[in-house]
Amino acid sequence: MARSGGGGLVEGGGGGGGGLKKGPWTQAEDKLLVDHVRRHGEGNWNAVRRETGLQRCGKSCRLRWANHLRPNLRKGPFSPEEERQILRLHGLIGNKWARISSHLPGRTDNEIKNYWNTRLKRRQRAGLPLYPPDIEREIALLRAQNINPFADADGSASVSLPPPLLYDAGNPFALPPAVPLPPSGSHSPLINQSYPLLNQMQGMQQQVFHLAGGHHQSPQQQPVFHHHQQHDGGGGGFVSSGLPPLPTRAHELPSNQFDTSSSGSGGLLESLLLGDDHHLPRQHNPTMVKVNSMPAFTYRDAGSRQTVHGGAGAGSDSDEASHCQPGEDIHHSAKWNFTFD
């Protein structure tokens, strides 16, 4: 499944290989990694190799843990609501997979990225719009009101909506900045619910801008911020029918954190934009930091298909019935056949 195929491939020269293995992970390697994380917690990934003898680079360990081994991962197809969330977020922030995944508990940035690159780009090839009209309109409305969900708390200049981005004449769903909000009830529920607060946030943003030293010359004049250019020149990777890329917040959440709390700017408005998915658990996953509080690992015996529980905190995520258990590899339809004690 990996690029290198076959097991046992060893990394060659560049990249600091030094005899490190590449390619698919084996059960034994997974066990070593999980054991290490249980003992020491996440982070310091390069120490994994030193302390376990695992012939994998720290980068590879981190990725394996984040995408496959960490608890509370949610595998399987995206639900319709998850798909809509991805669409909304992508329409707002572009290819910021880590940030998008932070709004989809249990989903990894890699998963979302793959989803976008395959299922949605297929629509483009077929000549279909990437965003459903209702979602595209929601996004356009928010932009038309100069809402920037990703302003830094200090109003620093890494964020903003450069005026040219506000109105795209080629986008049938985009509205000019000065357009008044149509009567309540004509929008999707999301917009109707959030609009008063969005206006409030807009006022706050203007205040922040003022405090940060901006010069308000007229209510219509847009604040001048510098655009945070993406290094790869991809402009956020937009391939939409017209929604332009938005600048992004300078400080991104780690991909494995679900902390989308309202502290600091961005969180509140992001919640509003997303309709605040109350139905989804959005707690900061405590198991990812503190080893002692890690939930029980639960594995299914490969032969008997019996579920084996181990460790403290068993059943802590029993409500996530659709989730794969740590170590379960749905892609290979294989289950680990070892347990931890």
User: Which region among 10-18, 204-212, 260-268, 270-278 touches DNA (by CB under 7 A)?
Assistant: 10-18
Q: Does 291 bind DNA (CB under 7 A)?
A: no
DSSP character for 65? I
Grouping H, G, I as helix, E, B as strand and the rest as coil, residue 93 is helix
Q: Residue 245 in contact with residue 252, Cβ under 8 Å?
A: no
Among 11, 270, 317, 328, binds DNA (CB under 7 A): 11
CB of 265 to DNA, least distance (A): 16
Among 19, 189, 215, 232, binds DNA (CB under 7 A): 232
CA-CA distance, 341 to 339, in Å (whole number)? Answer: 7
User: Which region among 2-10, 149-157, 218-226, 303-311 touches DNA (by CB under 7 A)?
Assistant: 2-10
Q: Does 7 bind DNA (CB under 7 A)?
A: no
CB of 308 to DNA, least distance (A): 22
Grouping H, G, I as helix, E, B as strand and the rest as coil, residue 271 is helix
CB of 217 to DNA, least distance (A): 30
Q: Which is nearer to DNA, 63 or 161 (CB)?
A: 63
Q: Which is nearer to DNA, 21 or 137 (CB)?
A: 21
For DNA, the binding residues in 82-121 under the rule CB under 7 A are: 95-99, 109-111, 113-115, 117-119
Lookup: tokens for 296: 């029980």
Total of chain residues touching DNA, rule CB under 7 A? 56
Secondary structure (DSSP) of 100-152: HHTTSTT--HHHHHHHIIIIIHHHHHTT--SS-HHHHHHHHHHHHTT--TT--
Residue type, 90: H
CB of 331 to DNA, least distance (A): 4
CA-CA distance, 165 to 150, in Å (whole number)? Answer: 15
Identify any residues that bridge with 330 across adjacent strands, giving them in sequence order.
none
Q: Which is nearer to DNA, 192 or 257 (CB)?
A: 257
CB of 213 to DNA, least distance (A): 20
Question: Within a 10 A sphere around the Cβ of 247, how many other Cβ atoms?
Answer: 24
CA-CA distance, 92 to 107, in Å (whole number)? Answer: 19
> How are the residues of the chain apportioned to helix, strand and coil, as percentages rounded to the nearest 5?
35, 5, 60
CB of 219 to DNA, least distance (A): 32
- Distances in Å between the Cα of 34 and the Cα atoms of 26, 132, 229, 299, 330 are 12, 41, 38, 12, 18
Q: Helix (H) and strand (E) counts for the chain? A: 11, 4
Q: Does 213 bind DNA (CB under 7 A)?
A: no
Lookup: tokens for 80: 């319709």
User: Which region among 8-16, 131-139, 217-225, 298-306 touches DNA (by CB under 7 A)?
Assistant: 8-16
Q: Which is nearer to DNA, 69 or 268 (CB)?
A: 69
Q: Which is nearer to DNA, 134 or 252 (CB)?
A: 252
CA-CA distance, 163 to 222, in Å (whole number)? Answer: 6
Binding mask 17-56 for DNA (x = CB under 7 A): ----xxxxx----------------xxxxx---------x
- Residues forming contacts to DNA in the complex (CB under 7 A) are 1-6, 11, 14-15, 21-25, 42-46, 56, 58-60, 62-64, 67-68, 95-99, 109-111, 113-115, 117-119, 122, 231-232, 234, 237, 250-256, 330-331
